[in-house]
Amino acid sequence: MTETTNPSKQQNGDAVMPETSTRDDVFDDSYKAKEGPKPPMRLVWRNIILMFLLHVGALYGLMLVPSASALTLAWTALCFLLSALGITAGAHRLWSHKSYKASTPLRVFLALANSMAFQNDIYEWARDHRVHHKYSETDADPHNAVRGFFFAHIGWLLVRKHPDVIEKGKKLELTDLKADKVVMLQRKYYKLSVVLLCFLVPMLVPWFLWDESLWVGYFIPCLMRYALVLNATWLVNSAAHMWGNRPYDRNINPSENRFVAFSAIGEGFHNYHHTFPFDYATSEFGMKLNITTAFIDLMCFLGLAKDCKRVSRDLISTRAQRTGDGSHKTG
């Protein structure tokens, strides 16, 4: 694959419009579609089997829902929310994009919540996400949506990575992640933390506190909840890279998708997010359909987070008029 750079992309994966950018810069999509000859897909049977079993178990968990107590269902919702925040407020907005600053207690909380989500450790997640932003829709994008919905959604976890992902990923600036003791500690004890927080705690709490059966505890708050968080996350890579308006930049695939925003607790405003990746709200509309933004605001109120980065209304409007598809209200 030919090395290309997009003038609106920074080394850490953040895309920003340079003050001096010209119309040609803005519409330069030469970084897209530079696909080299496809290496053969190498299936990873261990992942295929485990993902199949997980989804069968999750469907069985869904069938068990009527037999679960109200407390168990409330606990499942809480586990969903906590693990989702470990991804959205933690791995994504804090560690991948540095869009706000978090105190040590909050970082510890988010790292634990992240282990509950079991989506690779924070270091690996943020590294892959930075390479996704910097090389979106190319072979170096781990979940390149040009390869279709299935690949972007789950398929990318079932095959070996394209060599460009690893080659380009190795050139990324990751010193901030390496310098964060919480990130490195979570990486060191990742497997243990996943066994405890993704599997044992969700299953044992209902059994211990209100006599739910271990069977229901295993299939509903554990497997079904895990599969739901995974699929909500993957929808951002698949659906939100395919369907929806592009009010801020019509030249990129990421789109505004309200269904995804709802299920991914605020992460479906993906055209906005790829246009202004440093914005802590990942959306123009603040807390609307965006539990994660409300959570970060609460953390700021409690003094546990600060320095939230935001894009000015003027810049949003100017950018929408210049590169949007016309669907922006002021555009």
By the criterion CB under 6 A, which residues form the site for ligand ST9?
44, 47, 84, 87-88, 92, 118-120, 125, 127-129, 131, 157, 160-161, 165-166, 169-170, 229-230, 232-233, 236-237, 264-265, 267
Minimum separation from the CB atom of position 5 to ligand ST9 (A): 17
Query: What's the token pair of residue 73?
Result: 């269902």
Q: Output the smallest distance, CB 267 to ligand ST9, in A.
A: 4
Q: What is the dihedral of CA 257, 262, 267, 268, to 10 degrees?
A: 0
Name which of 293, 313, 309 is nearest 301 in CA terms. Answer: 293
Nearer to ligand ST9, 265 or 320 (CB): 265
- Strand, coil or helix: what is 242? coil
Strand blocks (E) in 68-142: 101-102
The phi and psi torsions of 283 (rounded to 5 degrees) equal -165, 155
- Answer whether 80's CB lies under 8 Å from 225's CB: yes
Residue with Cβ nearer ligand ST9 (107 or 143): 143
Nearer to ligand ST9, 165 or 205 (CB): 165
Choice between 80 and 212, CB closer to ligand ST9? 80
- Distances in Å between the alpha carbon of 274 and those of 16, 252, 271, 323? 9, 8, 5, 13
Which residue's Cβ has the minimum distance to ligand ST9?
169
CB of 213 vs ligand ST9, minimal distance in Å: 26
Identify which of residues 197 and 265 has a Cβ nearer to ligand ST9 in the complex.
265
CB of 87 to ligand ST9, least distance (A): 4
CB of 209 to ligand ST9, least distance (A): 25
DSSP annotation of 265: T
CA-based angle 15:18:20, to the nearest 5? 160
Question: At its nearest, how many Å lie between ligand ST9 and the CB of residue 24?
Answer: 29
Q: Minimal distance in Å, beta carbon 118 to ligand ST9? A: 6
Long-range contacts from 59-62, C-beta under 8 angstroms, 24+ separation: 60/219, 60/223, 61/219, 61/220, 61/222, 61/223, 61/224, 61/227, 62/224
Cβ atoms of 88 and 126 within 8 Å: the answer is no
Based on CB atoms, which residue is closest to ligand ST9, 28 or 35? Answer: 35
